[in-house]
Amino acid sequence: MTSIGIFGAAGRMGRAIAQAAAEAGIAISGGTDRDGSGELAPGIAIGSDPVALAQISDVLIDFSVPAALSSHLDACVAVGKPILIGTTGLESEHHALIDKAAQAIAVLQTGNTSLGVNLLAALVEQAAARLGDDWDIEIVEMHHRHKVDAPSGTALLLGEAAARGRGIALAEHSERGRDGITGARAKGAIGFAALRGGSVAGDHQVIFATEGERIEIGHRAENRVIFARGAVKGAQWLSAQPAGRYDMKAVLGL
């Protein structure tokens, strides 16, 4: 049986993953969090030593914070254990760390672990590839009031899918945070809008708009269980993979 260790175990996603693993009959080896106190489940303590957790786990799942990623990757590399990273708000330096770690261990990094969202990303890529740049692309996302990063990791995942379909680099063609006199929309740009409020688990809509018509495709998450189940499935798959960098498309065969 694959045993899963959870970085960021005291957070809402960490506890949801523990519950999803229990429902699937999968063992949780333990968890870590910044405070290193409390229990993840009866008899399973939350510690603060990532290396100790990696040593007793077959695969690790990280839904913590970007600042902790480096130490978590170092721990997994030190003991040769794979890691699934669902932490959002990552910057270019974090992706460079992931690329380096993936030379030694299997690493799956994704902005969203749900099956529905990853199917949506595949559809967005296909649509972007078939529609010309006279079709404007806008991505609208809404999350609960406590979310600290924007755009969401899922919105960026969808933006990357659209950029791949267009054969462009998202970083060079994204428009965010429009306010005031911004001028006309740049042709070929991929726009983002972030909404925050209430307890929304995650709503995402991708709009393709041209003169006289629009195509709108989207996904609504009703609770975090879908992400937790996807993370557990991804971790099980990752535990059998050689060193390299992977995403949820590989898990789902997309």
pLDDT number for residue 39: 83
Would you call 100 a catalytic residue per the annotation?
Answer: no
**Residues annotated within a binding site for (S)-2,3,4,5-tetrahydrodipicolinate:** 144, 153-154
**Residues annotated within a binding site for NAD(+):** 8-13, 33, 86-88, 110-113
CA distance 117 to 56: 32
Alpha carbons within 13 angstroms on the beta-carbon side of residue 194 total 17
Would you call 173 a catalytic residue per the annotation?
Answer: no
CB 162 within 8 A of CB 206: yes
Domains assigned to the chain: 4-113+225-252 (3.40.50.720), 115-223 (3.30.360.10)
CA distance 212 to 187: 17
**Residues annotated within a binding site for NADP(+):** 34
**Residues annotated within a binding site:** 8-13, 33-34, 86-88, 110-113, 144, 153-154
CB 76 within 8 A of CB 7: no
CA 129 vs CA 38, 116, 123, 136, 219: distances in Å: 49, 20, 10, 13, 20
Marked catalytic residue, from 81, 143, 173, 204? 143
pLDDT number for residue 233: 94
CA distance 33 to 47: 6
Spell out the alpha helix ranges (H) of 105-148.
115-130
Residues forming a β-bridge with 140: 193, 205
CB 227 within 8 A of CB 114: yes
Spell out the alpha helix ranges (H) of 131-180.
153-166
pLDDT number for residue 37: 79
pLDDT number for residue 1: 62
Evaluate if pTM is beyond 0.85: no
CA distance 134 to 128: 11
254 residues of the chain, pLDDT tens digit each: 689 999 999 988 999 999 999 999 999 999 999 888 788 888 888 999 999 999 999 999 999 999 999 999 999 999 999 999 999 889 999 999 999 999 999 999 998 899 899 999 999 999 999 999 999 999 999 999 999 989 998 999 999 999 999 999 999 999 998 889 989 999 999 999 999 999 998 999 999 999 999 999 999 998 889 999 999 999 999 999 999 999 998 998 87
